[in-house]
Structure 1
């Protein structure tokens, strides 16, 4: 067999609220999406060409797998139509998919080492849940339709049956599957050791973790993730890619999905954590935390693209006359500097807007002068390093929000809170805020400049 047909067109309506960020085929188990496990099974069978059937909302699958070159596979994507059966999809592909071929679902769990055939001479289980081997091109594969599989009465997934197929039909099943797969990885190693250790840790590439953080149990830390000193992991814990677990955090029997930040002091148990949401599978409850210092997305802010960059430069040019008027009134007022503007004096607003037009800085971003007084401090706060990673901007959203505020720490923390991806909506929201703040500043300054100067009378 050289070809495979994998269906990943499930919409995930039975997995709210995860279905608004993940299609079921991209749910990670042991640091890999379910679909990647299916592709690795195909690779073990000697398959070279794979046709992946997607729905209209599975763009994340294309971005992750691309052409399949990383797996030495040639992946072709087929867009499914509403209500289309697997047999109709097969006929639409045509002669490109020759028999014998494997047809399977890529959005369910087939087991760590499923009993798949490796060649035509091996006795093969022609049908099992979500898997069909077809020797004839006209053989039906409608048993792979998700509506058919979802109606099959099968026992609920149990952690001791990790090698059996799992439909991942609920959040509780996914939580049990992710933790059971991790425990099963170490079971064979423990049987080969007389006195197996009580703590078991599996690390991905480019991870940073303190072994003292794992009290007793099993933990998996995926690639490019970090667990700070002082964080405690208990039971079975699976941490996804690009995650950050801050000091003082306690996590027990939970799954952290990709790009999740857990702040200091937060305790999580029996839950699925997805960026700013905590899903308690035992209570069937979801909590959204709108505090970026406790729970937030650890994704790097995505650049808004050429449109936002072009708008930034256009807005900077349009604001140059107002900036010149603002700088003129500030000079005419000749107000002495007070504690309301800490740190070194910033360049004139006209110069900063011109730097935006030339592409040297962003229109909205941090004030590069504001952090310098704290750099010589013997104990630098951990969030200051995050602040210094923000883009330098001509206009500081924190200064616009806290006009006249002299507390450096408050300004820096507010800048971190207001930092968002450079999109058109981000530009519009900050323009309105900064225009209103500038108007409040210009009106008193204009009245001060227009006020006639009177000299006190000197009594003779």
Structure 2
């Protein structure tokens, strides 16, 4: 038996926290949510895993690797964000008559997969629906569950008590992580050791409360914990000044810095977060520069690093940036191409004039216009550069797209955009930007303006996951072929109109 784990949620319910963590990577007890699912998979005896990922796909793959840590072999599969389960299974080309475990890896639940599998074996021909804490537990077994796989789509639906199915009630905790309050409650419940099957793995130290303990990670520095009236989890490499006061339940992530005189009361501090001197916070989630009040669901972005902020040293990744030599070559290319600009402008004018003519003919014909056509000679676009600044750029209304984007090479030369990268258009951005922004990329070269956002996201993810050394040359060649195929139907359509004029 193999398992298909769905970890392709966007996490819009937790905006703007999902800009830092997709649901599968959200820390719970200083461990990513997906880690708990993989531990449960390993306990069930399954070793072959297909991981369906979408947002922050690169980060998930870097975090999990090959799966060796859990004794499983992980094969990654890119999907559209929150894509229907049936569509994903169809593209996976699996034999749905084989025994397959389907489960969500972006919700938090107590270990239960082994119990579910053993129970389901007693009803091989019946759909067994799993419930935990009166919720859809997000797991099912094929082939019996094939007519019900829509129940695994996000958001998970509340399963009914259908007499035609077998219901298994599992004991434990199940959290959808679909609000700030439920996310914080899950973390603090784990920190208070309320889940017997999920005891924190850190070292235990007595607190000032005789009924609760602190669980302290390796190399953490603290004051006298037995004098604190709080309790909870203190992550690895956390530095907590001895003068800090902790009240009620606290969960502090790995590599956090809590400065002197601060007061934390019923708080969740996520990894790599700095809490400033003398700051008092209560009932809050702190994530780098985000201060989230779980009672009001209010979010404040703090610009003052002396209050809260990131204490993570960003890695200097120069590999994706366009080098100075390349920028000089592009400057030369731009200068050499200037004599061709009048010709390109003329072709662009002809294309825009043809689009206007076709638009007028539509009033006398039942034919539909082609997608992506425009009557503008120069197409203006609102863009963002790699520093987050918005600006207006333009391209010609011509094919191939490589020629149309020549004017935007100016922004590569000035360092605002890279030569290759994600689309800088603000109209197609969604959530966290995958990597650096560039003039040329799969979305810019292979898709027109009418392409849906899901298709753009999936194409960008697939290109980012391609580690082949010639992927940029392949992209340029593919863009030329796409333009050639696009021209052929146009020519055929023009010939038919010449032979069969509209009466």
The answer as to 2:152 corresponding to 1:144 is yes
**Displacement of 1:243 after TM fit?**
1.1
Conserved 8 A contact 1:162-1:180: no
Q: State how far apart, in whole Å, the 2-side matches of 1:37 and 1:273 are.
A: 23
Partner of 1:31: 30
Structure 1: give runs of 5+ residues left out of the alignment.
154-160, 316-422, 425-460
**Displacement of 1:205 after TM fit?**
2.6
Superimposed CA distance per residue, residues 415-458 of structure 1 (whole angstroms, 9 cap, x where no aligned partner): xxxxxxxx99xxxxxxxxxxxxxxxxxxxxxxxxxxxxxxxxxx
**Displacement of 1:204 after TM fit?**
2.0
**Displacement of 1:276 after TM fit?**
0.9
Partner of 2:39: 40
Corresponding residue to 2:312 among 291, 294, 299:
299
Superimposed CA distance per residue, residues 63-110 of structure 1 (whole angstroms, 9 cap, x where no aligned partner): 211211221111111111367421221222224887322111111122
**Displacement of 1:137 after TM fit?**
8.8
Structure-2 change in CA distance of 1:103 and 1:18 (3 Å): same
Q: State how far apart, in whole Å, the 2-side matches of 1:96 and 1:66 are.
A: 26
Partner of 1:182: 191
The answer as to 2:247 corresponding to 1:234 is yes
Q: Secondary structure at the match of 1:11?
A: coil
The answer as to 2:201 corresponding to 1:202 is no
Structure 2: give runs of 5+ residues left out of the alignment.
131-135, 161-169, 200-205, 329-435, 438-503
Superimposed CA distance per residue, residues 38-77 of structure 1 (whole angstroms, 9 cap, x where no aligned partner): 1111010011011111124433211211211221111111
The answer as to 2:172 corresponding to 1:163 is yes
Q: Secondary structure at the match of 2:192?
A: helix
Conserved 8 A contact 1:56-1:79: no
Structure-2 change in CA distance of 1:232 and 1:304 (3 Å): same
Structure-2 change in CA distance of 1:48 and 1:254 (3 Å): same
Corresponding residue to 2:181 among 162, 166, 172:
172
Give matches, 1:398-409, under 5 Å: none
Partner of 1:395: none
The answer as to 2:87 corresponding to 1:88 is yes
Q: State how far apart, in whole Å, the 1-side matches of 2:284 and 2:65 are.
A: 31
Structure-2 change in CA distance of 1:64 and 1:169 (3 Å): same
Over the aligned positions, Cα root-mean-square deviation in angstroms equals: 3.5
Partner of 1:348: none
Q: Secondary structure at the match of 1:208?
A: coil
Q: State how far apart, in whole Å, the 2-side matches of 1:50 and 1:126 are.
A: 21
Q: State how far apart, in whole Å, the 2-side matches of 1:259 and 1:97 are.
A: 43
Give matches, 1:293-442, under 5 Å: 293-306=306-319
Superimposed CA distance per residue, residues 344-368 of structure 1 (whole angstroms, 9 cap, x where no aligned partner): xxxxxxxxxxxxxxxxxxxxxxxxx
Q: Secondary structure at the match of 2:174?
A: coil
Conserved 8 A contact 1:213-1:229: no
Conserved 8 A contact 1:247-1:265: yes
Conserved 8 A contact 1:10-1:23: yes
Structure-2 change in CA distance of 1:82 and 1:114 (3 Å): closer
Conserved 8 A contact 1:234-1:253: yes
Partner of 1:66: 65
Q: State how far apart, in whole Å, the 2-side matches of 1:254 and 1:196 are.
A: 17
Q: Secondary structure at the match of 1:163?
A: coil
Structure-2 change in CA distance of 1:97 and 1:26 (3 Å): farther
Q: Which has the larger radius of gyration?
A: 1
Q: Secondary structure at the match of 1:19?
A: helix
Q: Secondary structure at the match of 2:225?
A: helix
Q: Secondary structure at the match of 1:184?
A: coil
**Displacement of 1:200 after TM fit?**
0.6
Conserved 8 A contact 1:56-1:80: no
Structure 1 stretch 180-189 or stretch 45-54: which is displaced more? Answer: 180-189
Partner of 1:266: 279
Q: State how far apart, in whole Å, the 2-side matches of 1:310 and 1:144 are.
A: 46
Conserved 8 A contact 1:198-1:216: no
Structure-2 change in CA distance of 1:58 and 1:82 (3 Å): closer
Structure-2 change in CA distance of 1:36 and 1:287 (3 Å): same
Structure-2 change in CA distance of 1:217 and 1:122 (3 Å): farther
Q: State how far apart, in whole Å, the 1-side matches of 2:215 and 2:233 are.
A: 5
- Scaled by the length of structure 2, the TM-score of the pair is 0.54
**Displacement of 1:121 after TM fit?**
8.2
Aligned residues: 304
Structure 1 stretch 283-292 or stretch 33-42: which is displaced more? Answer: 283-292
Conserved 8 A contact 1:98-1:137: no
Structure-2 change in CA distance of 1:122 and 1:230 (3 Å): farther
Give matches, 1:208-227, under 5 Å: 208-212=221-225, 215-227=228-240
Q: State how far apart, in whole Å, the 1-side matches of 2:122 and 2:238 are.
A: 43
Structure-2 change in CA distance of 1:276 and 1:44 (3 Å): same
Partner of 1:285: 298
